[in-house]
Structure 1
Amino acid sequence: MTVTVAQATRSNLNEILRWLKQEDEETGEGFWCNRTVVESCHRDGELLVLREDGEAVAFLAGRVWVPDILEVRPDRRGRGHGRLLAEHVVAEASRIGDCLLRIECQPASSIPFWERMGFRLYRDDEEARILGGHAYRVLGRTHARPEGPAVAVEVELYPEARSWNPAVRPLLSRRLEAARREDGRLQLPERVVLFSPDVPRPPESFVRIAIDGQDVFLDKAKRDEAKAVGVERDPGGTYYVDALR
């Protein structure tokens, strides 16, 4: 048996629509009601298909960092195809530099699968477990530490209210030992992803960065000054820090 993951062809799309329609007619379940989303993703080049011996048996629709739908053909479930597709998305997101994957767990029965894939619900309560909810996975990255003396670095993430209220407590606080690279930048031992499930609007996130106890940045992550210090933004819009200037 040969299993491959690739961009869906028009023929693959037709196969997918046929089985979605059949599933809907036989069980009333599945994503036939979302067929326009699947078709739109195909037009935009955002429809991945898993082929088993050349036959489309699973698909994933949506952008890499916010996939909309993952479905395995009913007669091919339980063979690990969903896991292979999810792992492919995680690997691709890491390759292009994404820090954060966001999904919607619908139906709610999909929650255990996504939790096994490393995702966490934004709001983990009884209602979400029954009705379904949104989930996320932070993609970390480690870095080789240059030789040289350690430099203490603090990176903190706050809600927007920190702009006018200094008493607001950080949602994320990291203390690391960096080291100076040959280009003069301070390399962190690991990526600090400026994300908290409690921040609904990441562009308004307030960030504090200190080196050896001295603040070098204290403002919103979207400011040009943040980029000058070393705050970067991934393709999905999440801010992170790998090294400081």
Structure 2
Amino acid sequence: MTHEILPADERLLAEVEAWLDAEEVAYKAAFEAWKANDYEGDAPVRGFRCNWDSAKRAWREGHSKIHVFVVGDQAVGFLDGTDILEIRPGFRGNGYGRLLADFMVKSAGDEGRSVVKIEIAPASAEPFWECMGFTLMDDRPSSGGGTFAFKVLPRTFNLGDGERVPYMISFFTQRERYKDEPKAFAQFDGIGEQLRDGRIQLQERAFCFNPEDDQHVDYFVKIELDGRLVHFDKAKYEESTSFGVERDPGYDFYIERINPKHASV
């Protein structure tokens, strides 16, 4: 049967909400039975009805995007950005979740993200996301109580016939920055192309992502051209921006073109 992934509208949202309501009723009944049985066996798995009202409100206010997976004329799944993905009970096991997850990853790439970051809950969904190419970080604390996972979205570039310039870009935590021999948590090196405006086009996007922390820290970026240090400071500073540091829709710093202060290096 044909399927479509459509931007949400009020009619589709109402259809999704109806089956989320039914799923919640079934969950509550199963939970009471589990409790009455002295919590023996596996706990029943709850759907995302508890998050639905806030997701719907954010969509209506224009702060987020919701897409609905439609098979025939039925809404059988939905995706709230990269935050929530669910397939309707009774329609699982047909590959719809994989199709919706592929759509999520492609959309994140089209937005310009360097990394897709998710929290997986329930834990029974972890094998699915591993099969989708995500790396799970069991030891990293998560705000939502799920397991943090990520997938890198590489970006490479074809170079022209301009002059070649060796480069190295490194990213450091604040703690490492002030050590005698700081160790970068991410490093990118290669041969770039000097463009007519003096900027250096990289072979690949150099991005600042440390999976071991929650990203709410100050990062330092070190830029070297042809073996010469040209910049080493906090990535968020205006001076770093002038050298080509940008921020993607996922709030990760990245560089695709180095902008040295002088046209020749």
TM value normalised by structure 2: 0.82
1:54 aligned residue (48, 66, 73): 73
Aligned pairs, number: 238
Cα separation, partners in 2 of 1:7 and 1:41, compared to 1, 3 Å: farther
Greater CA drift, 50-59 or 163-172? 163-172
User: Take 1:123 and 1:212, find their aligned partners in 2: how far apart are those partners?
Assistant: 39
Could you say which residue in structure 1 is the equivalent of 2:262? none
Is 1:42 aligned with 2:59?
A: yes
SS in 2 for 1:60: strand
For each residue in 1:81-114, what CA deviation from the matched residue of structure 2 results, as whole angstroms up to 9, or x when unmatched?
Answer: 1112111122222122111211110001111111
How much does 1:185 deviate?
A: 1.6
Given that residues 146 and 180 in structure 1 are in contact (C-alpha distance below 8 angstroms), is that contact kept between their aligned partners in structure 2? no
How much does 1:149 deviate?
A: 4.2
Is 1:106 aligned with 2:121?
A: yes
Cα separation, partners in 2 of 1:220 and 1:167, compared to 1, 3 Å: same
- Runs ≥4 in structure 1, deviation > 6 angstroms? none
SS in 1 for 2:187: strand
Q: Percent identity?
A: 36
Write the letter of the residue equivalent to 2:54: V
Could you say which residue in structure 1 is the equivalent of 2:11? 11
- Structure 2 residue runs of 5 or longer lacking an equivalent are 29-45, 260-265
- Structure 1 residue runs of 5 or longer lacking an equivalent are none
Is 1:75 aligned with 2:90?
A: yes
Given that residues 138 and 193 in structure 1 are in contact (C-alpha distance below 8 angstroms), is that contact kept between their aligned partners in structure 2? no
User: Take 1:89 and 1:178, find their aligned partners in 2: how far apart are those partners?
Assistant: 31
Write the letter of the residue equivalent to 1:68: D
Write the letter of the residue equivalent to 2:51: N
Cα separation, partners in 2 of 1:41 and 1:78, compared to 1, 3 Å: farther
Write the letter of the residue equivalent to 2:57: S
Where does 1:163-202 land on structure 2 (aligned, <5 Å)?
163-201=177-215
How much does 1:228 deviate?
A: 1.0
Cα separation, partners in 2 of 1:133 and 1:15, compared to 1, 3 Å: same
Cα separation, partners in 2 of 1:106 and 1:73, compared to 1, 3 Å: same
How much does 1:52 deviate?
A: 1.1
User: Take 2:242 and 2:217, find their aligned partners in 1: how far apart are those partners?
Assistant: 16
- Between Structure 1 and Structure 2, whose CA radius of gyration is higher? 2
2:136 aligned residue (121, 141, 151): 121
RMSD: 2.2
Could you say which residue in structure 1 is the equivalent of 2:37? none
